[in-house]
Structure 1
Amino acid sequence: MTSDSFTIRSIEAFCYRYPLATPVVTSFGRMLNRPAVFIRAVDEDGVEGWGEAWSNFPAPGAEHRARLVNEVLAPGLVGRKFDGPAQAFESLTRGTEVLALQCGEPGPFAQAIAGIDLALWDLSARRRRLPLWRLLGGHGSTIKVYASGINPGGATQTAEAALERGHRALKLKVGFGADIDLGNLAALRQIVGAGMLAADANQGWSVEQALQMLERLGGFDLRWLEEPIRADRPREEWLRLRAGADMPIAAGENISSAEGFRQVLTEDVLGVVQPDIAKWGGLTVCVGLARDILDARKTFCPHYLGGGVGLLASAHLLAGIGGDGWLEVDANDNPLRDLFCGSLVDVREGTVQLSDDPGLGTVPDLSAIERYRSI
């Protein structure tokens, strides 16, 4: 039972949507609901594990990713024996590379595979009777968190509510015009005091706009400025930004290749690197990547904005790897997150403590969200 190898009995994805009273706003669009694609893997011994695939965009994308898992990826795994999650990840990735290219969908395939990978890591940790953070090499279960997803409208109220829930670090969405952005930053700096404050432009500016804004952001003592320009802009533009910035530049959620991460780790542009384990690479790739980020003397902060299973897996990665980074926790209402993220709902003085129970430390009760199921 404690062997690293396992035979997969079943893999199934479940898709949900929680309607939002207040849309989540970014510089590139609005989210009218919060989707989640949860994935359950069960081995022949009856041990189960849970994962989650990134599915925020486009609006119908969650159902598509769930079908990729159930109709394309799962049939290729059921009944097969693997020596561990990494072997299954490599088999899925290699086995679908041509198909992903043929249909022009390397992103959705990578996200669905990442979700399966997270489930298999949870399953493996449960088989070993170890909390996932300890299986990943962690020595402590306490990590720092920050309240993310603070919209331009109602930013003050959202920030104050986050501090009341125990947060001591905030990240504001910017990219909505200088007056709105600077006014919100001034208000949040006053609210959080000497605590951590960051800003996320969600790829919303040209390099010229970003350079102009950098001149006006210096007084807010930002811990980082995230994705000020498009992730695919030429490296010369990122280098120009770094030369004009008083604060660290952050990115990573939209880097989706080992080569892309190698590049940012060998140059002095990003001070904060933010891979998303539910979007690309899963734990199989991102455990080693997180260690490489720390070895490059950069700050590792896992990106995450989804349901509770992926958030919990991201927390275990941060605890397992260590460093002085923060876990991203969405400040907006979302039962698909809060019901399934275990101890992460209990924020105390800007930190959370993970469970010592095996795997992720909790098993989702999907009956609690049955009314939100879409497929």
Structure 2
Amino acid sequence: MTSQAFTIKNVQAFCYRYPLATPVVTSFGRMLSRPAVFVRAEDTDGVVGWGEVWCNFPSTGAEHRARLVNEVLAPAAVGVVIDQPTELFDKLTSGTSVLALQSGEAGPFAQSIAGIDLAIWDLYARRQKTALWQALGGARSQIKVYASGINPTGSRGMAEAALVRGHRALKLKVGFAPETDRANLSALRDLVGAGLLAADVNQAWSVEQAIELAPRWQEFGLAWLEEPVRADRPWQEWETLAANASVPLAAGENIASRAGFTQALTGDVLSVVQPDIAKWGGLSVCVDIARDIIRSGKTFCPHYLGGGIGLLASAHLLAGVGGAGLLEVDANDNPLRDRLCGPVRDVRDGMITLGDEPGLGIEPDLASIEQYRTA
């Protein structure tokens, strides 16, 4: 796509926190609130784009990431002239690499840069008067979705509500007491019938536990078992697990390097690969990674468990690169997601349809969530 150089005029982050009546439960902890950091970028022509910074854990880090954007990264972005969004991503990444190393905060810096990158891509597509999914090369606006984040308690009720909302595929949080996991898997398999059912262990098991427990779940016909062991375990352990698990494996949300994804695409260890564009790489890196995933014969399913802007950007990425993957849509209560995700809310028979409006196709109504703003 041809482009015309533009100048960054302003970058600003807005931080929000929605208190939960029912915590989101994972094997490594509980979320008592849902944070979100949204990023607004504007060029000197008055064109505006929106992005989102990953900030789930610990949720108290959301305000810190907003300050990283506003006090460190925004001043480095303002006045920069670029032709392509990747140019600003590279400039911010290289320009803060020593600072990220010195502070020991590679993750928060990468997440904050990713959020800015998403905003610049939205701005870029709006300048082209093209929907983001089309700017990324997409041919079809319709994608498959699945309901994720289903808690170990009240899981049947959450799943039933997701099915009523139009979902036809489910993912359950596991990694708790084996009898609890089995009972919940049985209930969800009964509900979803022949539809897709996946399980997310959230890195809770050792390799030995995974080899013992995973084969026992063959009866549930899992589409994938997500992060059964720590993402940073030696690759040889993942290979051993894949050879003995008897279920397809998934990972990717905690891979934060090109080399890591190159390794993830070798051999038959992972069947499903799940980069998170708001956590590392933004669209500038993850578009190519998504295409590599598809070319490797694996399934690209973007990971997402945050607010609505990042979720919508993830939908545009999936529609842009194609493939047989599904978009992750959190089933837990979160107005910071629902009020800003546009067409992702309208799930019909397990699918959503993106529009042809420029960029992400929405103008975020921040006034509707002002009561939750913290920074």
Q: Distance in 2 between matches of 1:146 and 1:205?
A: 24
Corresponding residue of 1:264? 264
Cα deviation code 1:271-297 (max 9, x no counterpart): 100000000000000000000001100
Q: Distance in 1 between matches of 2:5 and 2:272?
A: 35
8 A Cα contact 1:4 1:124, kept in partner: no
- Give yes or no for the alignment of 1:104 onto 2:104: yes
Shift of 1:240: 1.2
Shift of 1:177: 1.2
Cα deviation code 1:259-281 (max 9, x no counterpart): 00001112220010000000000
8 A Cα contact 2:152 2:180, kept in partner: yes
- Give yes or no for the alignment of 1:179 onto 2:173: no
Corresponding residue of 1:132? 132
SS at structure 2 position matched to 1:70: helix
Corresponding residue of 1:66? 66
SS at structure 1 position matched to 2:96: helix
Unaligned stretches of 5+ residues in structure 1: none
- Give yes or no for the alignment of 1:93 onto 2:68: no
SS at structure 1 position matched to 2:41: strand
Match for 1:252: what amino acid?
G
Q: Distance in 1 between matches of 2:357 and 2:5?
A: 21
How many residues in Structure 1 have an aligned counterpart in Structure 2? Answer: 374
Give the share of equivalent positions with the same residue, in percent: 69
SS at structure 1 position matched to 2:352: strand
Q: Distance in 2 between matches of 1:357 and 1:215?
A: 46
What are the equivalent positions in structure 2 for 1:237-252 lying under 5 Å apart? 237-252=237-252
Unaligned stretches of 5+ residues in structure 2: none
Q: Distance in 1 between matches of 2:315 and 2:4?
A: 23
Cα deviation code 1:109-138 (max 9, x no counterpart): 000000000000000000000000000000
Q: Distance in 2 between matches of 1:359 and 1:110?
A: 23
8 A Cα contact 1:37 1:52, kept in partner: yes
Cα deviation code 1:277-324 (max 9, x no counterpart): 000000000000000001100000000000000000000000000000
Q: Distance in 2 between matches of 1:260 and 1:334?
A: 31
What are the equivalent positions in structure 2 for 1:1-375 lying under 5 Å apart? 3-375=3-375
* Cα pair distance change 1:156/1:89, threshold 3 Å: same
Q: Distance in 1 between matches of 2:136 and 2:3?
A: 16
SS at structure 1 position matched to 2:280: coil
Match for 1:229: what amino acid?
V
Q: Distance in 1 between matches of 2:342 and 2:145?
A: 14
SS at structure 2 position matched to 1:270: coil
Cα deviation code 1:21-61 (max 9, x no counterpart): 00000000000000000000000000000000000011311
Q: Distance in 1 between matches of 2:82 and 2:314?
A: 23
Cα deviation code 1:216-252 (max 9, x no counterpart): 1110000000000000111121111101122210000
Q: Distance in 2 between matches of 1:359 and 1:333?
A: 26
Moved more, 238-247 or 122-131: 238-247
Moved more, 283-292 or 56-65: 56-65
Q: Distance in 2 between matches of 1:251 and 1:112?
A: 22
- Give the structure-1-normalised TM-score: 0.99
- Give the structure-2-normalised TM-score: 0.99
SS at structure 1 position matched to 2:59: coil
8 A Cα contact 1:306 1:337, kept in partner: yes
Match for 2:336: what amino acid?
L
Runs of 4+ in 1 over 3 A off after TM superposition: none
